[in-house]
Amino acid sequence: MTNPIHFLDLHEVSKEDLRTMIDDALAVKKARAGKPKGTRDEGRPLDGHTLACIFEFPSTRTRVSFDMGMRQLGGDTLVLNSDDMQLGRGETIADTAKVLSRMVDVIMLRTDNHQKLKDLAENASIPVINGLSNFSHPCQLMADVLTFEEHKGNIKDRVVTWSGDGNNMVTSWIHAAGQFGFELRIACPEELSPNPVALDWAKEVGAAVHVTRDPEEAAKGSDCLVTDTWVSMGDDVGARHNLLKPYQIDEKLMEKAASDAIFMHCLPAHRDEEATTAVMDGSQSVIFDEAENRLHAQKAVLRWCLGKI
């Protein structure tokens, strides 16, 4: 039996495979243009396959995109939440992984415990996909790279600026910078700096990742400004808003970027906190293309995990 192909973090997947998935996602999206959302992809590549989606906390984009993506690929989806099963409670994660491996073809887990994701993958004989964890969000980054390239061409050697909390999204942006070859500038308060493990990896591979406390300096000439909600994954609000207020993406900060820069946000957003409504609804915003591209990028991930690319 061959080892399953997991999609847990971008830096654990080869650059060549990541590029293949982005190109595949774009091609399949173009081929579907104008068709009803429920239309199956040509050839129904995952016909007969079942995806188990496990959600340990609520989701909109992840749930709908994986469910619809699997349907478009011709497969089936089983959606489970923490109230439906005994993952890591009455039953060990290892036993859950082995049971599900006998019944479905691929597992997607959305969790606030990255170790739980790793333990699931270690004990499963089928692919496991990281739908989000407290450490990273690689599926979102695949959608973000796809969105960038739709609007601005190849992301290699371009400049992306993050302004805000150095959270799990930043970890995946760091991984993406190293894997896709673009410069990443991270502007954040010292108290909310990026994960040091991710920064150490970036240094080891020579990725162009820079951390600063000055959002205006980071935004100068950038091709893309991106942020995320200031409070998520069970964070305590506390003093976070006071720390992050200087990092809000507003019209003034957008003007520091390149004239044709785009604005991205993975959503959900707290409007007029991490970004102003004027920016989110402005002509440079691509947030809803970005949300849609979760569907197309994850379909490519599913096909790659199941050897269909």
Active site (annotated) includes residue 140: yes
Residue 139's region, left for phi above 0, alpha for psi from -120 to 50, else beta, is: alpha
Catalytic residue among 32, 294, 296, 303: 294
Instruction: List residues bridging with 275 in a β-sheet.
Output: 249, 271
Catalytic residue among 61, 63, 137, 175: 137
For the residues of 260-293, what is the DSSP string, one character each?
Answer: T-EEEE-S---BTTTB-HHHHTSTTB-HHHHHHH
Active site (annotated) includes residue 40: no
Catalytic residue among 110, 185, 296, 303: 110
Active site (annotated) includes residue 63: no
The single residue listed with the structure tokens 């197309």 is 296
The span from the CA of 109 to the CA of 34, in Å, is 31
Catalytic residue among 41, 61, 228, 284: 228
Tokens of 52: 């188990």
The span from the CA of 195 to the CA of 302, in Å, is 27
Is the separation of the CB atoms in 172 and 11 below 8 Å? Answer: no
Tokens of 114: 């990255």
For the residues of 74-107, what is the DSSP string, one character each?
Answer: T-EEEEEETTT--BTTTB-HHHHHHHHHHH-SEE
Active site (annotated) includes residue 19: no
Catalytic residue among 223, 266, 284, 303: 266
Active site (annotated) includes residue 266: yes
Active site members: 110, 137, 140, 228, 266, 294
